[in-house]
């Protein structure tokens, strides 16, 4: 009974000793949910600093206080600092310029870039926008055919009173940045509302492939650069987000994340937190794309052989 009451602190000033055990338990909890150690330590240290010396108001359990503080901290991390209302932004741009709205998708190998590009495309078409899909993964076998298959399925939609979709491709082996530039020009000349650019997967520690992103950014001039990160990834999430955020040069960062494969991790969704935290830049705080993740998370509705009739 004594131990039980020790956990309650009413009208007491919290000390490091009061907080250590519940904070460590909370950190373990975050780690089990696949939050990267670096991010979990960051969150716990901040909460610790903010709670030491705080005078508790009433008869409260330390665990409850810690839990509430961690919750608030995570909420802050995940709340977008700038809104991502794609449709409104696209409309605004349409009014101002002839250049189509350009979105490019980047990320490491196999995370779901091409699939999520197709999901975004689906969303735009439903909103009656015309979309040019640019196949700028000129490396991985089958990458062009994969997009073509998605575009074929999606174009069946346009028969049903949705926007028009076309694939822009130049096969394999060519320079992706140049194709992206041509695609945007083609999109402008032919009056497309949006150009969606797929890129090849690349390791964030591959200097050569990462540095080619800077040229890509300069030539394609994307209005939005979205990075796909998969919920399955562990601690690598931190450097993935950081390195992609820095790859486009000093004046350009990521505009948001798409966290894919959330359906494969149960409640271990820590990647979201790790990536958000890692990509915080003082001048252009990143956001996660709440709008986009509202489209169904499973890729089945857009599958190759299944029609889009679901």
Ligand X SMILES: Nc1nc2c(ncn2[C@@H]2O[C@H](COP(=O)(O)OP(=O)(O)OP(=O)(O)O)[C@@H](O)[C@H]2O)c(=O)[nH]1
| DSSP H helices in 7-142 | 16-32, 37-51, 62-78, 86-96, 113-126
142-181 residues near ligand X, rule: CB under 6 A: 143
Dihedral pair phi/psi, residue 38, rounded to 5°: -60, -45
Beta carbon of residue 12, minimum distance to Mg ion (angstroms, whole number): 56
Contact in structure between 128 and 87 (CB atoms under 8 Å): no
Sole window of 60-68, 113-121, 168-176, 298-306 interacting with Mg ion (rule: CB under 5 A): 113-121
- Rounded Cα distance, 52 and 202, in Å: 43
Which string of x and - marks every residue 136-175 that binds another protein (by CB under 8 A)?
---xxxxxxxxxxxx--x----------------------
Site size toward another protein (CB under 8 A) is 55
Strand ranges in 180-223 using DSSP code E only, listed in sequence order: 194-199
Q: Which of 56, 104, 114, 279 binds Mg ion (CB under 5 A)?
A: 114
Contact in structure between 263 and 301 (CB atoms under 8 Å): no
Beta carbon of residue 92, minimum distance to ligand X (angstroms, whole number): 29
Beta carbon of residue 1, minimum distance to ligand X (angstroms, whole number): 49
- Rounded Cα distance, 202 and 198, in Å: 12
- Rounded Cα distance, 165 and 126, in Å: 11
Token reading at 190: 């032919």
- Rounded Cα distance, 129 and 84, in Å: 17
| Nearest residue (CB) to another protein, 283 versus 309 | 309
Token reading at 225: 């650069």
Q: Which of 27, 113, 252, 288 binds ligand X (CB under 6 A)?
A: 113
- Rounded Cα distance, 226 and 255, in Å: 6
DSSP 288: B
Partner that binds at residue 297, options ligand X, another protein, Mg ion, none, CB closer than 5 to 8 Å by kind: ligand X
| Nearest residue (CB) to Mg ion, 113 versus 204 | 113
Dihedral pair phi/psi, residue 44, rounded to 5°: -65, -40
Partner that binds at residue 224, options ligand X, Mg ion, another protein, none, CB closer than 5 to 8 Å by kind: none
Beta carbon of residue 234, minimum distance to another protein (angstroms, whole number): 2
Element (H, E) at 171: none
Which string of x and - marks every residue 228-247 that binds another protein (by CB under 8 A)?
--xxxxxxxx-x--------
Which string of x and - marks every residue 251-280 that binds ligand X (by CB under 6 A)?
---------xx-xx----------------
Query: Given the rule CB under 8 A, which residues bind another protein?
Result: 28, 31-34, 36-38, 108-112, 114, 118, 139-150, 153, 203-206, 230-237, 239, 261, 263-266, 268, 270-271, 298-299, 302-305
Query: Given the rule CB under 6 A, which residues bind ligand X?
Result: 107, 109-115, 137, 140, 143, 201, 203, 260-261, 263-264, 297-299
């Amino acid at each position: 009974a004594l131990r039980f009451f020790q956990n309650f602190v009413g009208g007491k000033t919290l000390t490091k000793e009061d907080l250590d055990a519940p904070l460590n338990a909370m950190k373990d909890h975050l780690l089990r949910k696949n939050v990267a150690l670096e991010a979990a330590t960051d969150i716990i240290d901040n909460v610790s600093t903010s709670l030491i010396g705080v005078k508790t108001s009433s008869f409260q359990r330390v665990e409850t206080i810690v839990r509430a503080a961690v919750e608030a901290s995570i909420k802050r991390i995940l709340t977008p600092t700038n809104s991502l209302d794609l449709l409104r932004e696209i409309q605004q741009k349409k009014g101002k310029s002839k250049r189509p709205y350009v979105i490019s998708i980047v990320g490491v190998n196999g995370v779901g870039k091409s699939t999520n590009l197709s999901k975004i495309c689906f969303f735009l078409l439903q909103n009656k926008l015309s979309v040019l899909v640019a196949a700028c993964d000129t490396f991985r076998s089958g990458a062009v055919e994969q997009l073509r298959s998605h575009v074929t399925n999606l174009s069946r939609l346009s028969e049903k009173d949705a926007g028009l979709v076309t694939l822009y491709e130049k096969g394999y082996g060519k320079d992706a940045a140049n194709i992206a530039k041509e695609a945007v020009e083609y999109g402008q000349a032919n009056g497309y509302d949006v150009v969606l650019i797929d890129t090849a997967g690349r390791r964030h520690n591959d200097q050569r492939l990462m540095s080619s992103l800077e040229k890509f950014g300069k030539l394609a001039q994307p209005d939005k650069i979205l990075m796909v990160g998969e919920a399955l990834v562990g601690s690598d999430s931190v450097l993935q987000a950081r390195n992609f955020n820095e790859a486009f040069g000093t004046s350009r960062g990521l505009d948001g994340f798409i966290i894919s494969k959330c359906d494969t991790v149960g409640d271990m969704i820590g990647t979201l937190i790790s990536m958000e935290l890692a990509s915080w830049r003082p001048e252009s705080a990143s956001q996660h794309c709440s709008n986009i993740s509202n489209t169904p998370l499973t890729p089945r509705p857009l599958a190759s052989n299944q029609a889009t009739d679901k």
